[in-house]
Structure 1
Amino acid sequence: MKVITKSIYTIISLSLLMNCTTKQELNVEVFETSASGNKLSKISEFSRTETSSKIVLDTSKRFQKITGFGGAFTESSAYLLNKLSEKNRKEIIEAYFSRDGANYSLTRTHMNSCDFSLTNYSYTPTPDKELKDFSVKEDKKDLIPMIKAALATSKDGFKIFASPWTAPPWMKDNNHWVGGKLLPEYYDSWALFFSKYLEAYKTEGIEIWGFTVENEPHGNGNNWESMHFTPQEMTDFVQHHLGPKLESDGYGDKIILGYDQNRAGLKEWVDVMYKDEASSKYYDGTAIHWYESTYEVFPEELQYAHNMAPNKYLIETEGCIDAEVPKWKDDAWYWKKEATDWGWDWAPENQKYLHPKYAPANRYARDIIGCLNNWVDGWVDWNMVLNRQGGPNWFKNWCVAPVIVDEEADEVYYTPLYYIMAHFSKYIRPNAEVIDVQTSDKELLVTAAINPDKTISVVIFNQTEYKKEFSLELNGVTKDITINPQAIQTIVLAN
């Protein structure tokens, strides 16, 4: 009798053990970047914590399709690359555009000079409505070779859109690089400029996906290249000049994005842009920047813009840590709340609260997640490469880039911002669909998307000073994961 009882207990114990060992779990890969030193590091061991929360994915609820993530080709970045050794040039391009790197899928460049150019220049310096002297020769030394190197490296390809900071001074009412408006008599010539740019870059073997009509049409405090438009003026130019010109020249498939400045002004612009079928005909979407605030995502404005044009693009086309000289090989600074932006010194008193001190890593992670959770379908960083001063540029407008170089010593520094960008660009691919995600821990910022290959990428940001544990759930199947303090994770669920 004792033997039989012992046998029964043995069978039951073995059965329970088998059930425990065969418990179904989500098949995941976890990659983390953290203040403690992880840099897109693969994590497989998770320690227990005292409290746990739940993050639930729902693939039945899908939102916007992703256009892409990336950065900008600027003359400053391209110039610096050409100052480096061939080895380091190749390494940086691969870091941004190879599948082993960030695999950028959406990029920007400038037409004519911008604040991150070495000098002021125009492709059409001579007053002539037919633009007979149009040439992109200024781009052939640095900018075009950088773009070509990226195209040659990328296996999946990437989209490029171009933005003008200003028309040549002779087309403007103030005859100056900075400020002023495009004279109505040159509207057709300025539309021709876009068409000629497409043709010139196509000749160089570079296909341009589309345009923003004007970088920062409100201006930028009369600092560097700029040209002012009201919402109605820009819409008139697009509706009656730019759109019809591109269409008649065989470029009707090129994307036109309106606005291209801070989110706080979105309502005023989209009300005019998408007022009716005629006004919205040639607009393919809306471009936005993040400089209105170092912490506010402006979800109401983003939702409003989406609802005004739910089938059009809503793309963050520029963001950077501005008004700061980069910290060299000091990862800790990027996680500390020490950086300040332009508004710290210059914002009116009633807007100072929008410009507190902040941690650069937090700003990138929080903003991209917030944008994805409010219908934004693309997010483009500013300069890809700057030097230890935060330049070079003609205006001495110092900023931070994800990759900083010392061109004299031929050294390269990949800041934490580079890895944060890669958490999105590498794992959330074009045509992925943002899906519903719910978290019981409001301190964890979360977004998720299902890729065309059916893998699901979940990006989680823990901005607190303590480790957190959570249970990730999909269709009733779970996986227990921990995330370090001040860390961002991308969790990839196999298809």
Structure 2
Amino acid sequence: MNTNMDRGKSEVLIYESNGEGQLFAKKTKAELAPAPSSANARVIVVDDRERYQEMDGFGASFTDSAAYLIHQVLSAEQRAELMPKLFDEKRGIGLSVIRNPMGASDYAREFYSYNDLPEGETDPALERFTIAHDEQDVVPLMKEALQLNPQLKMMGSPWSPPGWMKTSGSMIGGTLKEEWYATYADYFVRYVQAYAEHGIPVYAVTPQNEALFSPPHYPGMIFPAADQARFVREHLKPRFAANGIGAKIFCYDHNWDKPEYPLEVLEQASDAVDGVAWHWYGGSSSAQSDVWAAFPEKEVHFTEGSGGEWIPPFEQAFSNVMRTGIGILRNHSRSFVLWNMALDEENGPTVPGFGNSTCRGIVKINQQTRELTYTLDYYALAHFSKHIRPGAVRIGSNSDDAVPTVAFRNVDGSIAVVLFNDRSHSESVEVRVPGYETMSFGMEAKSALTLAFGVRD
């Protein structure tokens, strides 16, 4: 690690968001608000002697809907603008983790798996396995994203196995039939191998998206903890090993409110599981640390959180991503992945029969006008992703409910500090980073700052 940067000559880079009119705006020290006259300034001390998790990065998902909008609805010129703004570290925000559905999710134009068969048929040898659907839009975008950011890591998560493997005979509802456990493990092997043939490595998989939720109108499946542990221990991990596949396996992939599920999986299949994947739709991010404390050798990942119309902008929507994102990182997560990379003017497309969608994408692409809009989620992710790079290690910083913070040291020695004023009034803040001049400034209510020390513009 290079810790001998020319600190005296390196100006801190500052990015501020304080409302819809100013999102991730670059500032100089002189342009920061002066510290309010107060003897009660919040002093943030960064301590790089404290070391925590290493980061894989930040990102979102190329769902079928998102990939279609970016690859087919946008013009080539618009796509040439968007992709660098998503994945290039210099020209954009350098997203570095993609978590893609393995087959259809709720955000797909149709129901599909990688092995769809006529009713009543089965395919034990997976002779009809194909990722042809992904080759239309997802694969080309993944290749382009990898060119823009070679450090990009892709995770895969199924919403459902092929219907013929399930008790429901459909991608909706049901459970995985006992006789297809081994075949379903081979299904994962084929997925990893098929993407590898396109030059796209699969970094990790989860056995099931939201294993405790079986939606009545889009793909899903209940996968009880004991069954998931047995599937991973007796089938998935051995099939990966037999085929020389090094992709990691993260269990659970669901909300913070049921930590007993990943604990049960880890207790029963610890040697076959590399970590735990979490979502934010219930509970608190502290659950990540509770499970990590019981199994500190296992990785922590946050794999899905969506903003939507249920959280109106700017406050509370932007604030929610900042507040929750800091909490996710302070609770040992190596990744912070939001949901759809893109949605349209109707918050879709969604699978037939889904009904009204209220989710928000990282960008909005109007199918009628082709207008491209960067949403609040894009700028909130920017506060983290732009200067907390893959391989960065979280270091110490004091934090509280009023001004939560998180700090990282990058592999090049630079330090990134993210702050959010969660109060309804301005706060006086002082930031102390070893080797740098102390910074004192004011933060408006519900505003965010990223301070990048030791980085040249």
Q: TM-score normalized by structure 1? A: 0.84
Alpha-carbon offset, residue 442 of structure 1: 4.5
Matched, 1:37 2:16: no
Find the counterpart in structure 1 of residue 255 from structure 2: 262
Find the counterpart in structure 1 of residue 116 from structure 2: 125
Find the counterpart in structure 1 of residue 275 from structure 2: 285
Which letter does structure 1 place at the counterpart of 2:141?
Answer: M
Matched, 1:488 2:445: no
Structure 1 residues 442, 83: CA separation in 2 closer, same or farther (over 3 Å shift)? closer
| Unaligned residue ranges in structure 2 (runs of 5+) | 1-7
Q: What are the Cα deviations for residues 333-384 of structure 1, in whole angstroms up to 9, with x where unaligned?
A: 5113xxxxxxxxxxxxxxxxxxxxxx11111111110111111221111101
Matched, 1:68 2:28: no
Which letter does structure 1 place at the counterpart of 2:265?
Answer: M
Matched, 1:274 2:274: no
Find the counterpart in structure 2 of residue 246 from structure 1: 240
Alpha-carbon offset, residue 30 of structure 1: 1.2
Alpha-carbon offset, residue 474 of structure 1: 2.5
Q: What are the Cα deviations for residues 107-126 of structure 1, in whole angstroms up to 9, with x where unaligned?
A: 11111211111000121123
Q: Choose from 137, 142, 146 the match for 1:142.
A: 137
Larger radius of gyration: 1
Work out the CA distance in 2 between the residues paired with 1:493 and 1:363. 25
Find the counterpart in structure 2 of residue 318 from structure 1: 304
Secondary structure class of the residue paired with 1:334:
coil
Which letter does structure 2 place at the counterpart of 1:283?
Answer: V
Q: Choose from 422, 426, 436 the match for 2:382.
A: 422
Which letter does structure 2 place at the counterpart of 1:241?
Answer: H
Contact 1:270 / 1:308 at 8 angstroms: preserved in 2?
Answer: no
Q: Choose from 394, 403, 408 the match for 2:363.
A: 403
Q: What are the Cα deviations for residues 53-102 of structure 1, in whole angstroms up to 9, with x where unaligned?
A: 21111111111111211111111011111111111112121111012211
Contact 1:88 / 1:410 at 8 angstroms: preserved in 2?
Answer: no
Q: Choose from 318, 337, 340 the match for 1:380.
A: 337
Find the counterpart in structure 1 of residue 202 from structure 2: 208
Find the counterpart in structure 2 of residue 90 from structure 1: 80
Q: What are the Cα deviations for residues 396-440 of structure 1, in whole angstroms up to 9, with x where unaligned?
A: 43310121111221211112221110111111112211111125x
Matched, 1:225 2:219: yes
Identity of aligned residues (%): 30
Find the counterpart in structure 2 of residue 304 from structure 1: 290
Contact 1:325 / 1:388 at 8 angstroms: preserved in 2?
Answer: no
Work out the CA distance in 2 between the residues paired with 1:214 and 1:84. 31
Work out the CA distance in 2 between the residues paired with 1:407 and 1:378. 31
Aligned length: 433
Structure 1 residues 410, 271: CA separation in 2 closer, same or farther (over 3 Å shift)? closer
Work out the CA distance in 1 between the residues paired with 2:23 and 2:336. 21
Cα RMSD over matched residues? Answer: 1.9
Deviates more, 1:162-171 or 1:466-475: 466-475
Alpha-carbon offset, residue 27 of structure 1: 4.8
Matched, 1:187 2:181: yes
Q: What are the Cα deviations for residues 155-186 of structure 1, in whole angstroms up to 9, with x where unaligned?
A: x4200010011111110112121121101100
Find the counterpart in structure 2 of residue 163 from structure 1: 157
Which letter does structure 2 place at the counterpart of 1:474?
Answer: V
Secondary structure class of the residue paired with 1:454:
coil
Contact 1:274 / 1:308 at 8 angstroms: preserved in 2?
Answer: no
Q: TM-score normalized by structure 2? A: 0.90
Find the counterpart in structure 2 of residue 334 from structure 1: 313
Contact 1:33 / 1:416 at 8 angstroms: preserved in 2?
Answer: no
Find the counterpart in structure 2 of residue 393 from structure 1: 350
Contact 2:307 / 2:377 at 8 angstroms: preserved in 1?
Answer: no
Which letter does structure 2 place at the counterpart of 1:123?
Answer: Y
Q: What are the Cα deviations for residues 1-25 of structure 1, in whole angstroms up to 9, with x where unaligned?
A: xxxxxxxxxxxxxxxxxxxxxxx99
Q: What are the Cα deviations for residues 273-313 of structure 1, in whole angstroms up to 9, with x where unaligned?
A: 2226xx211101000100115xxx341x2221111221221
Work out the CA distance in 1 between the residues paired with 2:409 and 2:335. 15
Work out the CA distance in 2 between the residues paired with 1:270 and 1:71. 23
Which letter does structure 1 place at the counterpart of 2:410?
Answer: N
Contact 1:124 / 1:168 at 8 angstroms: preserved in 2?
Answer: yes
Matches within 5 A, 1:106-121: 106-121=97-112
Find the counterpart in structure 1 of residue 68 from structure 2: 79
Q: Choose from 400, 403, 406 the match for 1:447.
A: 406
| Unaligned residue ranges in structure 1 (runs of 5+) | 1-23, 327-332, 337-358
Runs of 4+ in structure 1 deviating by more than 6 angstroms, as ranges, are none
Work out the CA distance in 1 between the residues paired with 2:98 and 2:298. 18
Work out the CA distance in 2 between the residues paired with 1:409 and 1:367. 33
